[in-house]
Chain A
Amino acid sequence: MNEQETTLVEMVLAGNSDAFEPLVRPYRNDLIRLAYRMTGDWEDANEASQEALLRAYRYLARFDTARSFKNWLLGILVNEARKSFRKNPRSISLAETAEPSTPADQERRHEEGVLRGRLRACLDGLSRGQREVFILRDLEDRNIRETARILGASELSVRVHLSRARKKIKDLMTRGAAPGKETTS
């Protein structure tokens, strides 16, 4: 945690609520993207992110300034996303992009659509721990230590979940790419 964050945390705790926005602003997009990856739905992601902000503000006094504020904030978000997923379990998607496809890309889009469907099914097949670790490490590109901190797990546990998740993802992606084995889902 840098000095600026420490100062902002102290200001918020002293009663200056205006300091909260600059404190969390650097993680604005991290919050919404991680929430979306974990819930698979923009509406749920928005709700989980807002709830994470609320809890971060409410429980800021419990934050240990020796630790990373970012990991603390994302840890809160992970908990909120878990709640949202429990309340409204749905298929996790890795997002259909909003951009319309061009005719020239139709074939590639079709293949990606097939792969995306398989990946979605595969993520549904992962355990919660495997899914969270895979999202944080391979999609969010956080290192093992950060992933462990955010999830409140040991690094060994993260490695075990990550290894199993990658095997499943690889098997599915390989089968999806194999000619004659594709099926739309």
Chain B
Amino acid sequence: MTCRSARKLIPLAAGGDLSEGKAGKVAAHLKACAACRAELDAFRTALDRARGLDGAAGHSWNDAAWAKAVRRAVAQGSEPAAAKPRLVLRPAVIAAAGAVLIGVAALLLVLTRNSLRPREVLEARTEGAKTEVPAATEHKPEPSPGTADQKIVKRDLKKKTESPLLAAGRIKPSPAPIDRALTGAAAPVAPSPTQDIVSATFVSQETGLKVVWFFDRNFNWKGEGK
């Protein structure tokens, strides 16, 4: 053992608080190191002095004070514990916790509604896009969408717009028009000054067949594409 490691243990060794193994190592080092022995003696002397200055050792609880303290403990200890000051804050804490919970619930509700909404992608179509609408293709879907072997996994709303947000697909349209289109409802779409063409895309999960239907602003079927 080096002096450095011994010095770390000497404070505990001075009070006999080392484990047997460490105490043995320290003792072996002390036999050969006078400086560490002096250090140990200095610790022991300091502890003895500190104990000698402890004036509390000679004091005791007098009989009258003791009897009074015990009587008080028995009398007051039998009573129910007094309400702690922090209980006064309880309504405020509850109100704060309630506000936090309401906020979290509202946030969860918004997130849940967003996640349940059908995935709709809004794409901007220019006037030229109208001309790109293909004619009927060889893969014609069933006349009524949503048959047993086809499941709609994606629906697109394609709009003609000048808005850069719409072009970037960051604004989602209401699903109501698409729902009507899928169910064959005849109700016209509320006219929008910026929307001329609406498309719905159907993808079969089994075959991967993808069909796009195009509608005008009154939801009249205009054609389909792949």
- A residues with CB within 8 A of B: 17, 20-21, 24, 28-29, 31-33, 36-37, 42, 46, 49-50, 53-58, 94-98, 112, 115-116, 119, 137-139, 144, 159, 162-164, 166-167, 169-170, 173-174, 177
Q: B residues within 8 Å of A by Cβ?
A: 8, 11-12, 14-15, 17, 42-43, 45-47, 49-61, 65-67, 69-70, 72-74, 76-78, 81
Assuming the contacts A29-B61, A159-B17, asked whether A166 and B47 have C-beta atoms less than 8 A apart, the reply is yes
Residue of B nearest to A120 (CB): B53
Is there contact, CB below 8 Å, between A163 and B70? Answer: no
Q: A166-B11, A166-B47, A170-B46 are in contact. List 13 more A-B contacts (CB 8 A).
A: A21-B70, A28-B60, A37-B54, A46-B65, A50-B73, A53-B70, A55-B77, A58-B76, A112-B52, A112-B53, A119-B53, A138-B47, A167-B11
Question: Are A94 and B12 closer than 8 Å at their CB atoms?
Answer: no
- Is the CB–CB distance between B15 and A138 below 8 Å? yes
With A32-B61, A170-B42 as known contacts, state yes or no: A162 contacts B55, CB within 8 Å. no
**Residues of chain A with a CB closer than 8 A to B46's CB:** 166, 169-170, 173-174
Residue of B nearest to A52 (CB): B73
**Could you tell me the distance in whole angstroms from the C-beta of B133 to the nearest C-beta in chain A?**
77
Give, as a whole number of angstroms, the nearest-CB distance from B42 to chain A. Answer: 6
Q: Looking across the interface, which residue of chain A has its beta carbon closest to that of B43?
A: A170
Q: Kindly list chain A residues whose C-beta atoms are within 8 Å of the C-beta of B51.
A: 138-139
Q: Which of chain B's residues have a CB closer than 8 A to the CB of A21?
A: 67, 70
CA of A46 to CA of B60, assembled, Å: 11
In the complex, chain A residues whose CB is within 8 Å of the CB of B14: 166
| Chain B residue nearest to A171 in the complex (CB) | B46
Bound complex: CA of A162 vs CA of B16, how far in Å?
A: 12
| Minimum distance in angstroms from A140 CB to a CB of chain B | 9
Q: Counting chain B CB atoms within 10 Å of each CB, which of A31, A37, A57 scores highest?
A: A57
A95 to B65, CA, bound (A): 20
Which residues does chain A contribute within 8 Å of B11, judged by CB atoms? 162-164, 166-167, 170
Question: A143 — nearest CB in chain B belongs to which residue?
Answer: B17
6 residue pairs A–B, Cβ–Cβ below 8 Å? A20-B74, A28-B61, A37-B54, A50-B73, A169-B50, A173-B45
